[in-house]
Structure 1
């Protein structure tokens, strides 16, 4: 057998195997490249990642969601939405600090950092009380002072405008918040860890640290998704692609010389 023919068969043999071996990587690079080229049209630059598997791959741990039990249900806040047993009721800006459930007055009250949210027993919104109605914000804590609802908020005063934590009693009927004596008793509301079924439900709404799908696609395209070894793996496949290009050209060139 002539040497050129034998060499050509070897090139064909390894060209085909290299192509099959690197096919998946080549397809992934093409698809991710197209996605990145049209990220604005696909909106992947705006969609945040909610997948627990992807978040875990980035070392982002799911938070332990906490809430307050309202009757037989649980109230919590996820991404500024107030949920009750999985149903969105309204927006709650900032963390949920506590819930006051009044069977006598037939309402329940959610205390958020920026507002008080008053709802009926069947979860219909009555009123949102915020800074526009004089509410001292941001609220840092909420609780009870004896039998009265109290909130603690940052107030500024003094010669150097020093920030101080002030306790206010809340009168919802008159919409008044009266500063209380510093020695007054204050028992803050407590939040509890949600049950496992509730944790699993709310995890699907969690978006971690502004991680977008564009970032994930970019990291897959550049092999950074696979850690420190990723760029070296990609370099290996780049060498295979170069070999395929060279062997393909050789096979075409030698075949064209025969005609």
Structure 2
């Protein structure tokens, strides 16, 4: 009995060593990345942006300068409203608000500049100070596609109908007559395009995102996730074989073998 148990222990230890050697590098790697992620706020990993071209290609960003600015905008009282194509709304070359592209329309109403983005109607002072940002929760009609000011009314086209927006009460009233003269984009001046190009910043991958994707295996797609899962299973097996080795050795020692 003790001889059979001894052979079992030897076989178990061999597999324990093999499994341990096969996962040791990955276990150390996962431990280091786990520690880094655990202390990410204090290390500021989310604020460190990586913009290497090979990394951008790996994550699927297009290599056409990522179209940092649109070449069209809206000329309102000799001032240009345009969108970066990412999140920034510009008054001339100054970023004034964040909203989702595209910029659908712009107009002047009383002492305000209006900019209609995909997700919001942005209200600005002539100097570009943000006054208000109206989304669907605060009264902006769903599916807005165009904007104009006519007869001192803010008119918004939703595709199916035209509505008038009361800027004070945020009430929407349908407009019966067919409207023309919706604001249309025009090419930006070359000088302004050059200024926007110098300001445009291509997106990057944060250090935190990269470490998290490496830690989980997502950096290498589905195969990477499955590989990390396999490492996890092998670590569990390593723990079980270690526990079995301890139990068997203890049993053998008590039996006097």
TM (normalized to structure 1)? 0.49
The structure with more strand, counted as a fraction of residues: 1
The structure with more helix, counted as a fraction of residues: 2
TM (normalized to structure 2)? 0.49
